[in-house]
Amino acid sequence: RASRHYVPGGLSPTFAVGRWSAVEWVLRKGAVVLTITSHTTPDGKILLETDTGDAAEFEPHKALPEMLAQGEMPLCVVLSSCHSRVAAPAFLDLGARHVVAV
């Protein structure tokens, strides 16, 4: 039985390179689920890629409020990285209902 929210042919996943601009774009679009697969430092900083391919530290508690000024937090965030449990509270504090930290 399909969910009552199922939209045949209406939804499709979007994939992007893990850059600041990609996360901002997802937040502006009002995505329901955001999945970030990356590296996370032991102190909870997520490493995203710059336009030149270098790693840049993304501190969720500091950067997300600015990003959310143009959009809204997805209902569910999936963080797939080492130490993701340290970064997870920032997403919950800013409105995500569920965070899966793998």
Q: Which strand ranges, in their side-by-side order, compose the sheet holding 46-49?
A: 39-40, 46-49, 55-58
- 49-68 pLDDT per residue, tens: 888 889 999 899 998 888 88
One DSSP character per residue, 45-88 reads PEEEE-TTS-EEEE-HHHHHHHHHTTS---SEEEEESTTHHHHH
- 24-49 pLDDT per residue, tens: 888 888 888 999 999 999 999 999 98
Whether pTM > 0.85 for this model: the answer is no
Task: Return the minimum-mean-pLDDT range out of 13-17, 38-42, 79-83.
Answer: 13-17
